[in-house]
Amino acid sequence: MNKAEDFLSLQIGARFLGALAARLEAARDAHDGLACHNLAMVAVHAYLAGLMGPAVMYSLLAHLTRRCGNPQNTCTNLIHTLNP
């Protein structure tokens, strides 16, 4: 890949992750546990595919932990599964 392709790939990845974060927040605000869980799993797959680094993933996990404080919440259960 050349520099222009690398830049474009980074831009696409950043927009995807931004949209993912916005949808995750909307799902959380709507108390939609299934959507929250599914979107969090997309984030995990994005991490595993190398779309985001460990610092971004841990930041996301920390944010979800703060936002999804209820232990019965799907987001929190997912976080405890991924980050024991």
Measured in whole angstroms, the distance separating CA 17 from the mean position of its chain's CA atoms is: 7
Number of domains within the chain: 1
Question: What's the pTM?
Answer: 0.71
As averages over each run of 10 residues, the pLDDT of the chain (84 residues) reads: 76 89 87 83 85 84 69 58 59
- Spell out where 3-72 has E strands: none
Helix 33-48 to helix 3-29 angle, to the nearest 10 degrees? 160
Locus of tokens 């929190």: 76
pLDDT at 76: 59
CA angle centred on 80, ends 82 and 70, rounded to 5°: 140
Domain that residue 11 falls in? 3-82
pLDDT at 19: 92
Half-sphere exposure of 64 (CA within 13 A, CB side): 32
